[in-house]
Amino acid sequence: MSSILTSWLTIDQTSDFSISNIPFGVITYNGATKVSSRVGEFAIDLTVLFEANLLDNCGFSASDFQSNRLNEMMKKGKKGTRKLRNRIQEIYTNEVFKAEGEKALISIETVTMEMPITIGDYTDFYSSIEHATNVGTMFRDPANALLPNWKYIPVGYHGRASSIILSGQEIHRPKGQQKPKDDEPPVFGPCKLLDFELEMGFITYEGKPLGDSISTTEADDYIFGMVLFNDWSARDIQKWEYVPLGPFLAKNFGSSMSAWIVTLDALEPFRVEGPKQEPAVFPYLEYKGDKNINIQLEVQIQPEGEEASTVCNSNYKHMYWNQNQQLAHHTINGCDIHAGDLYASGTISGPTKDSYGSMLELSWKGSQTVQLKNGVERKFIQDHDTVIMKGYCEKDGVRVGFGEVSTKVLPSK
């Protein structure tokens, strides 16, 4: 870890939003929606800093910060947003800027968080070997849990961007066809096996033209930052519909993301070595250095009127396929990417039962109950439950976190 930054602003040591973080998001305050950053318990109004001439020579205009999305700002690319983030850190670490810097601070309790980006396209991967093995064991031959392609390609599918929602927004239980008994016709009705999926998402800058590819070496320059991601899943609908084309209504009714985008620069100090990949990958998927990230993850379920109970503690470092490989594979055929595109990791499960990233695994396909506080039990998510996911990195006294993504489930309409 490089030298630890210290701020003239008092920040709780347990805050996800230390001076080493400086994420980006969008807030509404006093009727105005604008681009913001965050430090401790304060949002940073970047328009105020810009109008005080504290962001000169960063290459941004007033309209970049008065926007209701980050997309235009992100079109400045990695060099642009890195310069901006470094400048914000300088303002809040150097006493010279204290008077002006204080004017830009807004109590986080007084702002409304907005969806930070316009998502053009959304891809969901399937990159945790523990999760894929668990699912394959449950539904196929345990001796051949992984499909033949799994260790050769980062498996993924294109999802629905329109139904990605921000933390705090409620969702309704989806309806669809299910086939609970193999020897009887399908039925229609509300999903009975509603599940969360613990994931992380990464968001890209503007990419290369159609026909060009992004290598694993270049990938970091095209990744803006990361969010917590709950990719909701209707297991009973999915089981019936997924053959032969994969998830559809079981997934596109809603996915939830956290509000603050934590930059890849902020996460660099927490890089770790990934798992050994065997057999050897194709050359375009080879990479150098540590590309996994040590992000500690937690999932809680809070039944209405009850305390929240932790049901999962996992870690993003377990991912078999890292995001550099995911982006390289996504573009190897010439597929173009754009600023604001979102790519989810797939369910993040670890090697122990308490680190499984879905109720499907925690309850082992509903054959076991998951104990919550006060004698409450769950096999899958029930109406009026709230699912809360949290994540942070911590090393050598420095903490960089994501806050949370929280979603309450309402009954089917």
Residue 19 lies in a domain: no
> Catalytic amino acids?
131
Question: Three-state SS across 137-161?
Answer: HHHCCHHHCCCCCCCCCCCEEECCC
CATH code of residue 354: 3.90.850.10
Residue 13 lies in a domain: no
CA distance 338 to 129: 28
Say yes or no: 96 and 135 in one domain. Answer: no
The answer to whether 101 touches 93, Cβ cutoff 8 Å, is no
Say yes or no: 220 and 81 in one domain. Answer: no
Question: For 195-236, what is each residue's pLDDT tens digit?
Answer: 999 999 999 999 999 999 999 999 999 999 999 999 999 999
Question: For 131-161, what is each residue's pLDDT tens digit?
Answer: 999 999 999 889 999 999 999 999 999 999 9
CATH code of residue 71: 2.30.30.230
pLDDT in tens, the chain (413 residues): 456 899 999 999 999 999 999 999 999 999 999 999 999 999 999 999 999 999 999 999 999 999 999 999 999 999 999 999 999 999 999 999 999 999 999 999 999 999 999 999 999 999 999 999 999 999 988 999 999 999 999 999 999 999 999 999 999 999 999 999 999 999 999 999 999 999 999 999 999 999 999 999 999 999 999 999 999 999 999 999 999 999 999 999 999 999 999 999 999 999 999 999 999 999 999 999 999 999 999 999 999 999 999 999 999 999 999 999 999 999 999 999 999 999 999 999 999 999 999 999 999 999 999 999 999 999 999 999 999 999 999 999 999 999 999 999 999 99
What is the Cα 391 distance to its own chain's centre?
Answer: 9
Say yes or no: 145 and 266 in one domain. Answer: yes
* Enclosing domain of residue 63: 24-114
Say yes or no: 109 and 133 in one domain. Answer: no
Residue that finishes a domain, picked among 114, 143, 165: 114
Residue 7 lies in a domain: no
pLDDT for the residue numbered 220: 98
Residue 17 lies in a domain: no
> Is 0.95 topped by the overall pTM?
yes
Residue 196 lies in a domain: yes
Residue 5 lies in a domain: no
